[in-house]
């Protein structure tokens, strides 16, 4: 039986893998585990619960709320808001627990549950493991110890969450965005209202696409995984830049005025140099993952910025940032963490800060992003294989070794199992695109053969 929690909570096809019964059970288990850990000691516990607009989020939210209240936790329902908004509100409201229902960039039929600890930080791995253990024990028939009477949790709507979060975003910007025209792709997701409102309050002229969620269209041909619509809109409207979110808006990718993609590595480059100039890049260091482009590493070396690399997953970036006291980190996918202002990746905040840098310097985004040159990087997702064996296959280890010898010092190979999807990712970098494609294709074939 596989572990329920991946690198970003529990995910699966809603009402198939992730059922109402599971959502309820996990919520009750989380309440009991946090009580066991002393989180609720001396006061009546409070949880903040939010979701993205997926249709399945409606019944899963109801299950989570019911589970928490049945375990004696008071619940503040904040409705459809981004994941980082739930994290922020958990901290700002002094709540003991935050719960977000979203499958981020995954297709609409999927959904997920993510728990935040007090302060809005992601739960530690050991707490997630304990929640899963307790959940499984009780799913097999062991009865819960349940409060009754006045001991049950109360449920309230917290409609002020939207304004409180947007005010926070605008309030932490180093400068206004007056004079900029920005296109925002909301992915028909959780940022569909938040992001346009925040950019407008910060002074930008805003054009929106994919900001009309109906519960079924989230991430459908739009958002950070489908940039063609944003590229076209930026060029059509003569905008200075475009910003694309994913379904739960914890990430951001951008498009420059010419319609060219600006990925997470480039965004980190722009923000790192801006923060270095402002004296807010603590310890002169940026934290990224092993998936970052080699060009990013070379650019940071040239600009005198230290680079620390972690395992893939924004939770590991965050752990390293907290451990070392760093202020900026993120992933190529657009998860960017500005720890002075957020406890997790925040796509709206990232887009705002990127736009603020354009406004402050008066330089086009293409010029700012040009600080790093992206080396050709090919990523192939290999599905329908046993991803659990990727690290133990001698055959794959030999194939990777052969590829690394072929690429030499001008390239890189990375093979890893996805933490959120049932697949193995093959990444190859090389000075030449055709060589990167050829090597990646060979390795992908080896993965299918060895793990299929």
- Residues of each annotated binding site for Mg(2+): 104, 246, 248, 250
Pairing mode, strands 261-262 and 181-185: unpaired
Instruction: Please pick, among 56, 104, 292, 417, the residue that the annotation labels catalytic.
Output: 104
Strand order in the sheet with 377-383: 377-383, 423-429, 412-417
CB atoms within 10 A of CB 205: 16
In the numeric block, the tokens 């030449």 are attached to 432
Instruction: Please confirm, yes or no, whether 104 is among the known catalytic residues.
Output: yes
Give the residue numbers of the binding site: 104, 246, 248, 250
Distances (CA, A) of 389 to 325, 369, 385, 448: 35, 38, 9, 12
- C-alpha 330/C-alpha 301 separation (Å) is 17
Question: For residue 139, how far is the Cα from the chain centroid?
Answer: 29
- Which residues have a Cβ under 8 Å from the Cβ of 195 and sit 6 or more positions away? 184, 186, 243, 245, 249, 347, 348, 351
- C-alpha 286/C-alpha 136 separation (Å) is 39
Q: Do residues 347 and 240 lie in contact, with contact meaning Cβ atoms separated by under 8 Å?
A: no
DSSP tally for the chain: helices H, then strands E? 14, 19
Residues carrying an active site annotation: 104
């Amino acid at each position: 039986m596989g572990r329920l929690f991946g690198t970003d909570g529990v995910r699966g096809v809603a009402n198939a893998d992730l059922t109402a019964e599971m959502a309820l059970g996990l919520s009750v288990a989380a309440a009991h585990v946090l009580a066991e850990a002393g989180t609720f000691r001396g006061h009546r516990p409070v949880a903040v619960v939010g979701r993205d607009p997926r249709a399945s989020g409606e019944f899963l939210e109801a299950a989570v709320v019911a589970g928490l209240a049945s375990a004696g936790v008071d619940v503040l329902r904040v409705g459809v808001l981004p994941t980082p908004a739930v994290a922020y509100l958990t901290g700002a409201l002094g709540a003991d627990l935050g719960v977000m229902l979203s499958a981020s960039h995954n297709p609409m039929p999927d959904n997920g549950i993510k728990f935040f600890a007090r302060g809005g930080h992601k739960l530690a791995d050991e707490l997630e493991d304990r929640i899963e253990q307790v959940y499984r024990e009780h799913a097999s028939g062991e009865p819960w110890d349940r409060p009754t009477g006045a001991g049950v949790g109360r449920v309230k709507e917290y409609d002020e969450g939207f304004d409180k979060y947007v005010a926070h975003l605008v309030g932490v910007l180093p400068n206004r965005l007056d004079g900029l025209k920005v296109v925002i792709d909301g992915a028909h997701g959780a940022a569909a209202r938040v992001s346009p409102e925040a950019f407008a309050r910060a002074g930008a002229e805003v054009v929106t696409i994919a900001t009309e969620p109906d519960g079924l269209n989230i991430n459908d041909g739009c958002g950070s995984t489908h940039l063609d619509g944003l590229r076209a809109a930026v060029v059509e409207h003569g905008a200075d830049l475009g910003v694309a979110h994913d379904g739960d808006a914890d990430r951001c990718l951008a498009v420059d005025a010419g319609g060219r993609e600006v990925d997470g590595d480039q965004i980190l480059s722009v923000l790192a140099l801006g923060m270095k100039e402002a004296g807010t890049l603590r310890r002169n260091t940026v934290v990224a993952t092993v998936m970052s482009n080699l060009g990013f590493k070379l650019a940071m070396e040239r600009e005198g910025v230290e680079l620390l690399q972690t395992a893939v997953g924004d939770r590991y970036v965050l752990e390293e940032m907290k451990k070392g006291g760093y202020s900026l980190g993120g992933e190529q996918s657009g998860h960017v963490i500005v720890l002075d202002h957020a406890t997790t990746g925040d796509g709206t905040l990232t887009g705002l800060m990127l736009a603020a840098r354009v406004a402050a310097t008066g330089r086009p985004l293409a010029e700012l992003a040009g600080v790093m040159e992206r080396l050709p990087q090919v990523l192939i997702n290999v599905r329908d294989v046993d991803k659990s064996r990727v690290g133990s296959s001698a055959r794959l280890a030999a194939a990777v070794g052969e590829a690394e010898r072929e690429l030499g010092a001008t390239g890189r190979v990375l093979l890893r199992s996805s933490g959120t999807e049932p697949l193995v990712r093959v990444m190859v970098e090389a000075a030449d695109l055709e060589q990167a494609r050829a090597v990646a294709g060979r390795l992908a074939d080896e993965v299918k053969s060895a793990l299929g």
